[in-house]
Amino acid sequence: MIRLSRLLPTPASPSDGNEIDQYLCGQQQFRRQIDRERLRSDRGNSQFALVSMTFHAPIQPDDLAILSNVLRHRLRATDDAGILESNRVGVLLPETDPAGAWKVAEDLCELLPGRLHRPECDVYAYPMRLGAPPTEPHDPHERIDSTAIPSRIRQNRSAGNSTSRHRSTPRDLAGVRSMDSLFVKRLPAWKRAIDIICSLAALVLLAPLFLVAGIVVKLTSHGPIFYSQQRDGHGGWRFNIYKFRTMTVDADAIKSQLLELSEQDGPAFKLKNDPRVTPVGRILRRTCIDELPQLFNVLKGDMTLVGPRPMCSKEATHCSQWQRRRLDVTPGLTCIWQIQTGPKPAFIDWMRMDLRYACSRSLWNDVKLIAMTIPAIIRRDGVY
């Protein structure tokens, strides 16, 4: 592993916003450039890539200038290079597909002098465009697909070719990673602590209500007490959300017959007078009691108290790329959309509200949203 002091010349720091060695950007500045390219990609519906070069042996300060010189002469004027972490250098490649990014990675490894230890190269793509969204939690080291690797590299990989001193090992050329993992924002410690304390307290205090609701659901309609549905959560991680069952057992089967009646534009399905809802289910929905089992999701860490409401996975696949930025943060029980008065906003405005929260979450904002949710429930706003 490279020590930060060895990678960066004194007194520069990877966390500052200044250029390092007149070409490599500091960590914060480089992150901002990646975020900016993401916004440009969402607006222009284009794809870009990122090459990550991870060094596992110490680099002397003098070698940093050599690395910078190699990058400067190989990259285009529109490309950027900077520090990702203490031992990782990134290369941002606008308007570049994964195959082109692998070509850049291979060239850079070949151009590095022998005095530098060879890096392990990985390629990130945004958007992936390589298949359906993953169904497991995003792992920063997860490989999604290997089809984008240039054919000559795949051949070298299958043949176990290790003749090149700088070429990455076969394991490191296994595939392309989703860049979404770079944008995911960790749940703050204070927010997680509040989630655990409040969800545990609520589950204990509301245990009698859970018991009564479960008995009523079981006695008044055929089927299980609880209903679970797959939702898209933090970083695209799919999880099962829990609710008291408020619909008939064949509700999912006949949903396709009601899609044209949806009162919500966009991919989300909302129908206030849904014929699939049972009489008891309507009461549970009006009082939001049906949502209480999601406190278990909060306790597990799938959700948080305040955050964008998780969408059904089948509906979320139809969201635009920029709308999926709401998945950068952990989904929650309530958010800005839930407390709106009057007619519910259009779907695009709903997404913008979630993005606004994702960019400005704080303890004070969470307290205000929780306080405003209570009167919203009393007014029955947003209850479908």
Domains of the chain: 4-183 (3.30.70.270), 189-379 (no CATH)
What pLDDT score does 115 carry? 72
CB 101 within 8 A of CB 123: yes
Q: Please report, as a single letter, which amino acid is at residue 150.
A: P
What pLDDT score does 216 carry? 96
CB 81 within 8 A of CB 92: yes
What pLDDT score does 22 carry? 65
Q: In what order do the strands lie in the sheet with 19-20?
A: 19-20, 24-25, 80-85, 88-93, 48-54, 120-126, 176-178
What pLDDT score does 60 carry? 66
* Per-residue pLDDT of the chain in tens (384 residues, 90 and over written 9): 444 444 444 444 444 444 455 678 888 999 999 999 999 999 988 999 999 998 876 666 777 788 888 999 999 999 999 988 878 899 999 999 999 999 999 999 999 887 777 889 999 999 876 443 443 444 433 433 333 344 444 334 333 333 333 344 333 334 788 888 789 999 999 999 999 999 999 999 999 999 999 999 999 999 999 999 999 999 889 999 999 999 999 998 898 888 888 888 889 988 888 999 999 999 999 999 999 999 999 999 999 999 999 999 999 989 988 999 999 999 999 999 888 877 778 999 999 999 999 988 999 999 999 999 988 887 765 444
Residue 76 half-sphere exposure toward CB, CA atoms < 13 A: 10
From the centroid of its chain, how far is CA 155? 33
From the centroid of its chain, how far is CA 327? 4
Helix (H, G, I), strand (E, B) or coil at 383: coil
Burial of 10 (0-12, 13-18, 19+ CB in 10 A): exposed
Q: What's the whole-model pTM score? A: 0.77
What pLDDT score does 139 carry? 44
